[in-house]
Structure 1
Amino acid sequence: MKQFAVIGLGRFGASVARTLAKMGYEVLAVDDDEEMINNIADEVTYVAQANVLDERALKSLGLRNFDAVIVAIGQEVKASILVTVMLKEMGVSKIVAKANDDLHGRVLQKVGADIVVFPEREMGIRVAHSLTSRNIIDQIHLSPEYSIAEMVAPSHFIGKSLTESALRQKYGITVMAIRRGEDIIISPEAKQVIQKGDILLVIGSDAKLESIGE
């Protein structure tokens, strides 16, 4: 079973830890605040109260044995950078770090973070897209121009097969899955007919994703 460690149990860190635990993975939640630890203790596999800026305390957690460590330290830029450096030196195989802005993100990448995330920015983008598109339910940005989106099947596609809808040919959009009630159709065939109420999981450019919902 995969093991994950989350350092920093603010809103972002606690959400990641709880979600991973609900998915069935072993999760170690780490923070120096006893109240934060107590709030999540019953929902994850392990908890540890530790000052992660103390290198000996950090090493004692055995983090190099985990599949990934998420550095979710809040607004303390210096602390997140120092922890990332120490984790890299310890030989942690995969480090995911939260950044507050572009400069913070670039520094985290240079000192060893394998993946840098911008939770506030990404949430803002997702909310904006959900407000301006009638069909998009949720959206994950892969780059400044491309996204994976969950969207309600547009009315003008209902009753048509994926081939007839020409999503790939006309819009350059690929349907990766269809959620139909309680069922999920993975990698649907070209002859699959889109039905009313279907939720499509698609990948494509942001401009095209917005245009098919108009």
Structure 2
Amino acid sequence: MKKEFVVIGLGRFGGSIVRSLIELGMEVMAIDRDEDKVNEYSAIATHAVVADSTDESVIKSLGIRNFDHVIVAIGDDIQSSILTTLILKELGVTNVTVKAQNDYHEKIVRRIGADHVVHPERDMGRRLANNIASNSVLDYLELSDEHSIVEIVASEKLDGNTILDLDIRAKYGINIVAIKRKNEIIVSPQANEVILSGDILIVIGADNDINRFEKKVIQD
């Protein structure tokens, strides 16, 4: 059964969510007060509506409380974002995700009931910084303030060693959850799996432990 989503705010972030959800086969109502933006997504979203999300009567008339998940992706207008979130929660919307501009914005929307808060610009900045600061880190996904999933290229130091030989979990407190090798992906590799130079190790753990592993084992 298809899930039904509402995306409010059709800037770059909101627009990209609409496209991605549609590609995944979901039902999406796209909302913005800017008619030009709505027209742009009228042929992409399931429904595209010109509406002011800070008007409670409009939100009620659209039946938004019946949708599975609402994403508030309003850009620079923090006041509209906060008011929209408040209206959605007061109407009983179960899942509301809000794009936050800063920590203050996040604090307010959490207090009024936002279920999830994202900082796309900040998170992408951290991701980029981690990628360019290291020769071995290919990608980085923050799970929390202290834990991440990271893609690390295995150097020649690891070539020919098994996961058991390296004793990574005991020594560094991290887990290798998968290995990418050319066109193959080895999920939950066994302890006797031999690591080859150039393998992409997908590891999960605390940031400090991942950094120790990278410095002591990966980097030349």
TM-score (norm 1): 0.90
What is the match of residue 159 of structure 2? 158
The alignment partner of 2:151 has SS state of strand
2:7–2:72 contact (8 Å) kept in structure 1: yes
Aligned length: 214
Q: Which residue of 1 aligns with 2:136?
A: 135
TM-score normalised according to structure 2 size: 0.88
1:109 is aligned to: 110
How far, CA to CA, are the matches of 2:62 and 2:157 in structure 1? 55
- Single out whichever of 183-192 and 98-107 deviates more from structure 2: 183-192
- What is the identity percentage for the equivalent residue pairs of Structure 1 and Structure 2? 46
Q: Which has the larger radius of gyration?
A: 2
Equivalent residue, structure 1, for 2:88: 87
> Per the alignment, do residues 157 and 8 of structure 1 end up closer, same or farther by CA in structure 2, a change over 3 Å counting?
same
Structure 1 residue 64 and structure 2 residue 79: aligned?
no
Give yes or no for contact 1:9–1:31 (8 Å, CA) kept in 2: yes
Q: Secondary structure, in 3 states, of the residue corresponding to 1:47?
A: strand
Tell me how far 1:165 sits from its aligned partner: 2.6
1:68 alignment partner AA: H
**Post-superposition shift, 1:97?**
0.5
User: Unaligned regions of 5+ residues in structure 2, if any?
Assistant: none
Q: Partner of 2:7: helix, strand, or coil?
A: strand
Cα distance, 1:42 vs. partner?
3.0
Checking the alignment, whether the CA contact within 8 Å between 1:133 and 1:210 is kept in structure 2 is no
Residues 89-98 or 36-45, more deviating = 36-45
Q: CA RMSD in A?
A: 1.8
AA in 1 matched with 2:83? L
Counterparts of 1:44 and 1:183, CA distance in 2: 35
> Distance between the aligned counterparts of 1:158 and 1:20, measured in 2?
40
Q: Evaluate the alpha carbon distance shift between residue 175 and residue 78 of structure 1 in structure 2; reply closer, same or farther with a 3 A threshold.
A: same
SS at match of 1:51: coil
* Map of 2:30 onto structure 1: 29
AA in 1 matched with 2:103:
D
Once residues 15 and 164 of structure 2 are traced to their aligned partners in structure 1, the CA distance between those partners, rounded to angstroms, is 43
